[in-house]
Structure 1
């Protein structure tokens, strides 16, 4: 079983926090582009998982837009051994997210129009979780550097 977000972040398994940034997404016409721009600025050019981080951020924001009325903010924390990405929305139903997402398009004749976002996040991230906030929830994905799972 993969480690939880709390084990990786709160218990300092990712090492020291190097950079932190919260970005307001509410009101942006292109919130995914905003998040990718900030990620490109914050992640080192040698970060092996930059492309994965950008895809995960885009998927989390898309899920917030489609299922939770929009993304409010995006949090990036860069640690010595990886990064944690969080998307805050105003929906408070944490039980609406499947604990084990699956690919809803399982055969060439069964192509679903949605349902793959969290499957992609789960496939690329070391771990992910959802936590309640004061005014909604935050979905967090942790991506560790190669060799540090």
Structure 2
């Protein structure tokens, strides 16, 4: 049942990305190009999509976290700490830079794979390489800290 629910949620998310145009890098880049405001080529629709997503998430989290446990799991999987550290700033900064350069982020990239674009396929491969490198670096960090303390 859980895998079916995850499939349906992913399908709805992907459909939303397609309908909003967020799987189209040109649309994203036309939002990020603030110089286009003067020429009239700026596309503010991404701001509306983001505002809708933030609103739904804000209300959804408030409602869901009132429950004793999730519907399809035995417990909520929330971050163990609410302390902000360097990773909380660095990760989003790298994500934002990559999004600004490529015009696409992971969710829409998977949806856009259906277009058959070699550029999108290359992006997804590079994304997986970056995720693997980040995981290796994160796993080595405690070892490096211990070695430096000796």
TM-score, normalised to structure 1, is 0.31
User: When you count helix as a share of all residues, which structure comes out higher?
Assistant: 2
User: When you count strand as a share of all residues, which structure comes out higher?
Assistant: 1
Report the structure number with the largest CA radius of gyration. Answer: 2
